């Protein structure tokens, strides 16, 4: 095994462990913090795949912003931070069986896929990828219109967030 493979296995194990902790921990704030670790593991996986841009997006948007929003959402809504009561309900084994079956089926199908035996083609020079994306972003034939629509989407989200959070005079709370 190469160092890269060892590193990948370690990162994957940490990510999976963090993901399990997200759903199994009883303190909701701890779940949010474990989620950050899981997201960071995904970011490292992106970096291992030599997609640096996605690693940056993962860290800046998901860890930087979404995780902050989740923590704020927890602090805004929950009076009680510790979950009381059972974490499993009576029918817990039904999804467990279904998920186990789905996992077995996926592994069974994927193990016959030829892509596991063949070596992937070498990636193009990583440094030029981002500039190619930048070129495509403002190219009329590529992503220029989605790029501008994205700004309208962001504007809509901005106005909506302010509208929801602002005090409306004359509205009963």
Give residues with Cβ within 8 angstroms of 37, minimum separation 6: 14, 15, 18
Q: How far, in Å, CA of 142 to CA of 25, rounded?
A: 45
Which one, 9 or 69, has the nearer CB to other proteins?
A: 69
Q: How far, in Å, CA of 85 to CA of 26, rounded?
A: 10
Q: Is 9 one of the binding residues for other proteins (CB under 8 A)?
A: no
Count of residues in contact with other proteins, rule CB under 8 A: 47
Q: Which of 13, 68, 100, 106 binds other proteins (CB under 8 A)?
A: 68
Q: Which of 6, 23, 96, 135 binds other proteins (CB under 8 A)?
A: 135
Q: How far, in Å, CA of 25 to CA of 122, rounded?
A: 41
Q: Which of 19, 21, 56, 142 binds other proteins (CB under 8 A)?
A: 56
Of 143, 129, 121, the C-alpha closest to 51 is 129
Q: How far, in Å, CA of 81 to CA of 87, rounded?
A: 14
Give residues with Cβ within 8 angstroms of 162, minimum separation 6: none
Q: Which of 25, 47, 51, 142 binds other proteins (CB under 8 A)?
A: 47
Q: Is 147 one of the binding residues for other proteins (CB under 8 A)?
A: yes
The site for other proteins (CB under 8 A) is made up of 4, 47-48, 50, 52-53, 56-57, 60-61, 64-66, 68-69, 72-73, 75-79, 81, 126, 130-135, 137-138, 144, 147-148, 150-152, 154-155, 157-159, 161-162, 165-166
């Amino acid at each position: 095994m190469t160092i890269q493979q060892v590193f990948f296995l370690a990162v994957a194990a940490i990510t999976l462990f963090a993901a399990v902790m997200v759903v199994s921990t009883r303190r909701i704030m701890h779940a949010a913090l474990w989620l950050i670790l899981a997201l960071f593991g995904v970011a490292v996986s992106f970096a291992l795949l030599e997609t640096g841009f996605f690693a940056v997006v993962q860290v800046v948007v998901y860890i930087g912003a979404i995780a902050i929003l989740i923590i704020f959402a927890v602090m805004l809504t929950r009076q009680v931070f510790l979950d009381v009561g059972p974490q499993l309900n009576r029918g817990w084994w039904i999804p467990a069986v279904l998920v186990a079956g789905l996992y077995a089926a996926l592994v069974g199908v994927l193990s016959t896929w030829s892509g596991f035996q063949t070596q992937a083609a070498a990636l193009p020079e990583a440094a030029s990828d981002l500039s190619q994306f930048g070129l495509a972003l403002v190219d009329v034939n590529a992503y220029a219109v989605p790029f501008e629509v994205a700004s309208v989407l962001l504007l809509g989200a901005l106005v909506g967030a302010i509208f929801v959070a602002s005090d409306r005079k004359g509205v009963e709370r």
